[in-house]
Structure 1
Amino acid sequence: MKEYKLAESEEKFAELIWRKEPIGSGDLVKLSEKEMNWKKSTTYTVLKKLCGKGIFQNENAVVSSLITKDEYYAKQSILFVEDTFGGSLPKFLTAFIGGKKISKNQAEELKKLIDEHKEG
């Protein structure tokens, strides 16, 4: 799996693109200046970096995503579980629940997800 770790400012910029895509690169410069107080050069530098990471593309001065916001955050979640809990979903769930009770509906949803994704 390709890693898409972004700095906080890069992630904020990505959110801006996902909200407005497809967006002309000139409009993106104006929006970045307004919302992030960035200069044109900063916008294009960060955009080039994110295009290089395979998250966005800038074709014919129109910026659009190569992966969706949901796909990005799903990958971040997987990396978090791998890095923090050695890839152990049960350890993650134990820490996440933290001794709290979950509702009957939540338990049923989890059981359903487990059944849908069970190997063999």
Structure 2
Amino acid sequence: MDIPKIHEGEYRFCLIMWEHEPVTAAELVKLCQEQLGWKRTTTYTVIKRLGEKGVLQNDNGTITSLVSKDAVQAYEIGELVEKTFEGSLPAFVAAFTKHQNISEEELDEVQRMIDRIRRGGK
């Protein structure tokens, strides 16, 4: 499945949708006003736009996602690595770790991920 480009405001909306789905459009209006400061019309515009992009489905006012959070995040990271680091994952990791404090627990988790990938898992 092709992942459509989701812009920053749309992504913040999607985070709310993914957390509460299935959710009514009316509830999304309330949540977006509380969490994003959006007006009702803004929320409905984003629902319509993301529906047209194939990101969500509006079934008689009940909103559900058609694209998962994991899929969107994987796509965005892939785009970032390709665009900014010429597709080089090691260059991305080097740039990221150069300016971040990484805890021992985080390093252990990354090592477990690497070990799992080497064993053929995902």
Q: Are 1:45 and 2:45 counterparts?
A: yes
Equivalent of 1:116 in 94, 106, 120: 120
- Aligned 8 A contact 1:4 1:76 in 2: no
Paired with 1:54 and 1:8, the residues of 2 have a C-alpha distance of: 17
Q: Are 1:96 and 2:80 counterparts?
A: no
Q: SS where residue 58 of structure 2 aligns?
A: strand
Q: TM-score of the superposition, structure 2-length normalised?
A: 0.76
Paired with 1:107 and 1:35, the residues of 2 have a C-alpha distance of: 35
- Aligned 8 A contact 1:56 1:65 in 2: yes
What is the aligned partner in structure 2 of residue 29 from structure 1? 29
Larger radius of gyration: 1
CA deviation string 1:23-69 (max 9, x = no partner): 01122122222222222211111111111222111112100111111
Per the TM alignment, residue 96 of structure 1 is displaced from its structure 2 partner at its CA by 3.3
Please tell me the residue identity of whatever aligns with 1:71.
Answer: A
Q: TM-score of the superposition, structure 1-length normalised?
A: 0.77
Count of residue pairs the alignment pairs up: 117
The list of structure 1 runs, each at least 4 consecutive aligned residues, that deviate by more than 3 angstroms after superposition, is 100-109
Per the TM alignment, residue 107 of structure 1 is displaced from its structure 2 partner at its CA by 4.2
Q: Are 1:59 and 2:59 counterparts?
A: yes
Identity %: 36
